Structure 1
Amino acid sequence: MARKAAGRPPEETLSLWKREQALLKTLVVDRDTEAWQRDPAFSGLQRVGGVDVSFVKGDSVSACASLVVLSYPELEVMYEDCRMVSLTAPYVSGFLAFREVPFLVDAVQQLREKEPRLMPQVLFVDGNGVLHHRGLCSRGKVQRGSGVAPIPTLSLNCWTHCLTSPASSSSAPAGFGVACHLGVLTDLPCIGVAKKLLQVDGLENNALHKEKIRLLKAGGDSFPLMGGSGTVLGMALKSHDHSTKPLYVSVGHKMSLEAAVRLTHGCCKFRIPEPVRQEQEGTEAKGMPPGSLRRACSQLLCCKLLCEVHVAEN
């Protein structure tokens, strides 16, 4: 029997999420913090990661939380982890991170503890960073310095840091998506890569936007996504010469938009950057056939559901 997560959470929970989101937003860093990010060839970058939470059709509770780490620039699989999780928190627009990110943070923490030498130096997230909803929480200020956040949960020290951290002199109208949330909690550079345009701050998938897409000729071509506030929230990137649809790249944490776009393009053999594509479509790591990671997760989910049906019938 297909299962669905609980409905809209209590107002008390939503209020807590809003406060946490606002505080975490003050820790977002939208500039390059690592030497390799400023190098034209990304010299010093050796490991890139991709994360995602995927579901079986008809079940919005049981899911597979995945983390894949690839070598750079070879883009060969070094590590992969797929674990079954139960997402009990309901989906609320603008608050997806509170439903999915805890499991992704846990996956990163497990790798940090088991195989620290394989820790990714940057994470690609199938979703948005600062290209996200506005007005769902108090507008914070984006730091220009380096933020530090604990893993996997927020401690008292983190709350103190949130409340006392210096902020930039100008307000930050940008949003706070999954890539920002994950970046702050793991203290890793993060890039948000979305396949569809999130229409916020006046951004629209209208005729003008489609004309700009048509004018993108070669892989690597891009144009800025400037919202009605005058803030550039991300870039539309033609990631591959043969791709007809752009990717929407935005800053998650500890990386400039320019470097995020360059690295995204550099990680694309096809339309989707390899850290995300490998994680979503399966890998060939450890002699495993293509698609084995996803098939393994699907098999686990099917077995779990069959067991539940058997128990219910008896």
Structure 2
Amino acid sequence: MRPDLPPDWLNPPNLAAARLAQQALAALVVAEDRHGEVRRIAGVDVSNTRFDPESRVHAGIVVLSWPELEKLDEASAVQRAAMPYIPGFLGFREVPALLEAWGKLSLLPDLLLVDGHGIAHPRGLGIAAHLGVVLDVPSIGVAKSPLVGRPAAPLGEAPGATAPLEWQGRQLGTVLRTRARANPLYVSVGHRVSLAGALGWVRRCGRGYRLPEPTRLAHLAANAARRAAG
């Protein structure tokens, strides 16, 4: 975690404090390409059961080489969530477990593809933006369903088709169809990456599946951590 961030921005004592922390963290998001050479890309995902009586969060991070997309490292962590399941505030449930998994990596990535939203969030701080700012690592949100907004134009059926994701009169991301007859993905800025850059990275990380390879493998890793935890 960045040393300049107050500890309660990661573990706020109540929902009002969480809302203020989100607003402060969102103000730190850099929506421009400010990253160096990318040699390693990580996929990030979290698996949990909404009605788990223990409120456990199972985090998985998989580090891949770029451009080969070969697995170099993997780490997972399981924690009990400090905050209940409240839509729009899931970062406070998930980021602590992801930070623990991050601390177990022997090879750190230069760029994160996170299964979730970046700034396409009511307060501009989905999990991809939240994690990117806390770590100060370039990050991209790659979500499987929308949280806010809708496509500003019809989305074509062909793979590679895109449409702007708009909400309250501004573009928050891009809707991207990666496979024919498959539901699209919702790509948004996380931190230190532009929207055009984010879309380009997601496209280049495709390997014929609906999900880009980094988040596809992270999804498998997070699910494996959940099964291992029982």
- TM-score, length-scaled by structure 1: 0.64
Secondary structure class of the residue paired with 1:28: coil
**1:278 and 2:217 are equivalent in the alignment:** yes
Partner of 2:76: 82
Q: Which string of whole-angstrom CA distances, capped at 9 and with x for unpartnered residues, describes residues 142-164 of structure 1?
A: xxxxxxxxxxxxxxxxxxxxxxx
Q: 1:264 aligns with which of 202, 209, 217?
A: 202
Q: Is contact 1:105-1:185 (8 Å) kept?
A: no
Gaps of 5+ in 1: 1-10, 36-43, 135-174, 283-292, 303-314
Partner of 1:163: none
What CA distance in whole angstroms lies between the structure 1 residues aligned with 2:84 and 2:142? Answer: 23
- Cα pair distance change 1:296/1:237, threshold 3 Å: closer
Alignment identity in percent?
40
Partner of 1:63: 57
Q: 2:120 aligns with which of 123, 131, 139?
A: 131
Q: Is contact 2:60-2:76 (8 Å) kept?
A: yes
Deviation at 1:109, TM superposition (A): 3.2
Q: 1:227 aligns with which of 164, 167, 182?
A: 167
Q: Where has structure 1 moved over 3 Å in runs of 4 or more?
A: 293-297
Secondary structure class of the residue paired with 1:89: coil
Gaps of 5+ in 2: 1-11
Deviation at 1:228, TM superposition (A): 2.8
Task: Say what the alpha-carbon RMSD is for the aligned residues.
Answer: 2.2
What CA distance in whole angstroms lies between the structure 2 residues aligned with 1:28 and 1:204? Answer: 22
**1:46 and 2:46 are equivalent in the alignment:** no
Secondary structure class of the residue paired with 1:275: helix
Q: 1:188 aligns with which of 137, 141, 152?
A: 137
Matches within 5 A, 1:145-184: 175-184=124-133
Partner of 2:229: 301
Deviation at 1:57, TM superposition (A): 7.5
**1:92 and 2:30 are equivalent in the alignment:** no
Q: Is contact 2:114-2:141 (8 Å) kept?
A: yes
Deviation at 1:29, TM superposition (A): 0.2
- Cα pair distance change 1:31/1:49, threshold 3 Å: same
What CA distance in whole angstroms lies between the structure 2 residues aligned with 1:216 and 1:126? Answer: 23
Deviation at 1:58, TM superposition (A): 4.8
- TM-score, length-scaled by structure 2: 0.85
Q: Which string of whole-angstrom CA distances, capped at 9 and with x for unpartnered residues, describes residues 8-54 of structure 1?
A: xxx9611211221111111100000124xxxxxxxx42211011221
Secondary structure class of the residue paired with 1:29: coil
**Structure with greater strand percent:** 2
**Structure with greater helix percent:** 1
* Number of residue equivalences: 217
Q: Which string of whole-angstrom CA distances, capped at 9 and with x for unpartnered residues, describes residues 44-74 of structure 1?
A: 4221101122125752612321111011111
Deviation at 1:216, TM superposition (A): 4.2
Q: Is contact 1:108-1:186 (8 Å) kept?
A: no
Q: Is contact 1:216-1:222 (8 Å) kept?
A: no
Secondary structure class of the residue paired with 1:31: coil
- Cα pair distance change 1:295/1:252, threshold 3 Å: closer
**1:107 and 2:45 are equivalent in the alignment:** no
